[in-house]
Amino acid sequence: MLVACTSHPAGDGWTAKKTLSFGPYTLPASTEITDECVQITLGNEEDVYINAVEFTTGAGFHHSNWFVVPLNLFLPAGTNPPLATDDAASKKLDGTFKCADRGFDQAVAGIYGNVLFAQSTQIQQETQQFPAGAAIKVPAHFKLVSTIHLLNPGDNTLTLAPTIALTPIPLAQVTTKLQGMSFEDHALGLPANAQSKFTVDCDLMPVWQSLLGAGVVTSPTPSFKFYYALAHYHALGAGMQIEALQSDDATSSMIFQTTSQIGDALGASIDPQFDMTGFTRIRFSCEYYNSTANVVPWGYGSNEMCVFLAFTDLPYKLGGGEVNDEPPPNPPTLVNGVETYSAPCNVFTTQGAGS
C-alpha cells in the first residue's frame, strides 16, 4: 500500500498545507487489525513548524497515533546504508508494514522523535489546531510513522482512503514550540454491570527536581502551560478528567475533561492555556459504564483503555502512569454508587526533539 502526496513536494520552501494519502484499506466484515503501521517520508530539507493537523478517514478506522522521527529509525532488518538524510531511499520504504517487522515502539518513537497527532477513537474527520504562533517542530529529514488500528465489526466490507494534512507556519511566526505529553492507566478491570472510575495520581516533583539539578529548568516547581489535550478510551468510556493538584491536596483545578463517547472528538485546544505554576501533581481519571456480564481489562477491541495525550510548552517531554496490564492493585471504594479504583504512577522525562 503506497503513500501518495496530493499536493506539492516538501523540502525547501514548504510553506503551504501539505496533504498526504495512505492506504487504501479494504476491511472485510468482522475484521480487526492492530499490528500494522504506516510510514510517510516528508522530504523536508529544512525544519518545518506544524500549526495544524487535519485527519480524514472513514468508517472502520478505529485509532492511530502519529509521530515524527528520524529517517534512520524503524527500518527493515538489513537496511543499508542508514537513511539519516536520504529522503529518496526512505520514500522507497513508505507505505503500510507490520510494526514488528521494523521494531516499531511508541515509547522509542516518543524518545527519539515527537508526537504529532493522535486520532480520537473512531472519529472520521478531526482537526488538531494550535493557537497562532504555537507549533510542533519537525526537524529536517524526519518522517511520519504511525500505528493504525482498523476495526470493522459489521456485516459489510469497508473501503477506506485516509488522508493526513499538515499546515506549517514560517519560523518567523513561531512563538511557542510544543512537545507531547502522554500518560496511561493500564490497571483496568471494569466491574460487570456497574459504573466505575479509575484514577492515577502523578507527582511531578521528583522528575522536576532532577531537571532543576541539571540546570535545564530554573523554577523550583513545575512551570509550563497546556495547549491541547486528547482523551482515549473505547465504547464503555463515559469521560475523562485531567486535574492539577497542589502538594497539600488543598487545591485542585481542572485542566481538561470530556463527557463524550467514541465517534465524537475527544481532543480540544485549551483556551486560555492552563498554567501549571503552583501545582506539583497531575491526576487523571477515566469513567466507564460496563453493561456486560464480564470484567473488562485493558486492551484492544471490546476491552478498554485510559490514555491522554497533551501538548505543552515545556522543552522536555513528560510521560508515565501505570503501564502494568493487570487489574487494579487496590480494592475499590464506593463513591456515590461508582466503584472507584486508584493505581500508582511512574513519571519519566526526555528532552524534546527539536526543542
Largest CA distance in the chain: 61
Task: Dig out the grid coordinates for 316 from the structure.
Answer: 522536555
Q: With contact defined as beta carbons under 8 Å apart, do 290 and 193 qualify?
A: yes
- In the chain, pLDDT over 90 holds for what percent of residues? 67
> What integer pLDDT is reported at residue 82 of this predicted model?
67
Q: How confident is the model over 213-263, as pLDDT tens digits?
A: 888 888 999 999 999 999 989 889 999 999 999 987 768 899 999 877 766
- Count Cβ atoms within 10 A of the Cβ of residue 16 and give its class: 0-12 exposed, 13-18 middle, 19 or more buried: exposed
> What integer pLDDT is reported at residue 293 of this predicted model?
96
Average pLDDT of the residues in 115-139: 91
* Chain mean pLDDT for the chain: 89
Q: With contact defined as beta carbons under 8 Å apart, do 185 and 285 qualify?
A: no
Torsion, Cα 247 253 259 262, to 10 degrees, reads -60
Q: For 176-215, give one letter per residue: b (16+ CB within 10 A) or e.
A: bbbbbbbbbbbbbbbbeebbbbbbbbbebeebbeebeeee
* Measured distance CA(67)–CA(61) in Å, rounded: 18
Q: With contact defined as beta carbons under 8 Å apart, do 37 and 97 qualify?
A: yes
pLDDT-based confidence at 353, cuts 50/70/90?
low
> What integer pLDDT is reported at residue 351 of this predicted model?
67
> What integer pLDDT is reported at residue 263 of this predicted model?
62
Q: Is the peptide bond before 329 cis (omega within 30 degrees of 0)?
A: no
What are the residue ranges of CATH 2.60.120.230 in the chain? 4-173, 178-351
CA distances from 305 to 9, 84, 94, 262, 322 (A): 37, 35, 29, 12, 12
Task: Please give the DSSP secondary-structure letter assigned to residue 158.
Answer: E
pLDDT at 10 over 70: no
Q: How confident is the model over 28-74, as pLDDT tens digits?
A: 999 999 999 999 999 999 999 999 999 999 888 888 899 999 999 99
pLDDT at 94 over 70: yes
Kindly list the strands in the beta sheet with 194-203, ordered across the sheet, starting from the edge strand earlier in the chain.
252-258, 237-245, 281-290, 194-203, 338-343, 333-335
The top-level CATH class assigned to 178-351 is mainly beta
Which of the listed CATH numbers 1.10.3720.10, 2.30.30.40, 3.40.220.10, 2.60.120.230 matches domain 4-173?
A: 2.60.120.230
Indicate the pTM of the whole model.
0.88
pLDDT at 8 over 70: no
Q: How confident is the model over 274-318, as pLDDT tens digits?
A: 999 999 999 999 999 999 999 999 988 789 999 999 999 998 888
Q: Provide the residue type at 224 as one letter.
A: F
Average pLDDT of the residues in 87-98: 94
* Measured distance CA(20)–CA(4) in Å, rounded: 6
Residue with cell 497542589: 246
| 3-state class (DSSP) for residue 160 | strand
Residue with cell 522507497: 92
Beta bridge partners of 185: 322
pLDDT-based confidence at 352, cuts 50/70/90?
low
CA distances from 308 to 8, 62, 88, 220, 295 (A): 34, 16, 35, 26, 23
